[in-house]
Amino acid sequence: MTIMMSPKIMTIPIRVDTGSADEEGRLVLAGGRLVAVLLRLADEIHGDDCGTWFLEVGFGDLAGENRLFPTLECASQWLRQRLGASHQSKMRCTSL
């Protein structure tokens, strides 16, 4: 039986200097490491996406991801799932 371990995700509110109304951000830490920066889209130019959370930048296994989330909780849930799967595959590789 395989037990999936999800890392503890912590978000820290931070203002991001984007030059637009999109300033509300979150630093995302997993296991004490910075893994991503989320940005809440607030500028009217985003249309229907206004109010959603955007994965502005990811680090490590999240590098290159471009995703929108309807809520911060949805983003946190996806991050836990994604990082948990990544953590499991690394554990399998190191146990060979």
- Structural contact between residues 83 and 35, judged by C-beta atoms closer than 8 angstroms: yes
- What pTM value is reported for the model? 0.80
What pLDDT digit, counting tens, does each position of 27-80 carry? 999 989 999 999 999 988 899 999 999 999 999 999 999 899 999 999 999 999
Per-residue confidence (pLDDT) for residue 25, from 0 to 100 = 98
Q: Could you give the 3-state DSSP secondary structure of residue 93? A: helix
Q: Which of 72, 67, 70 is nearest to 54 (CA)?
A: 67
55/69 Cα distance (integer angstroms): 8
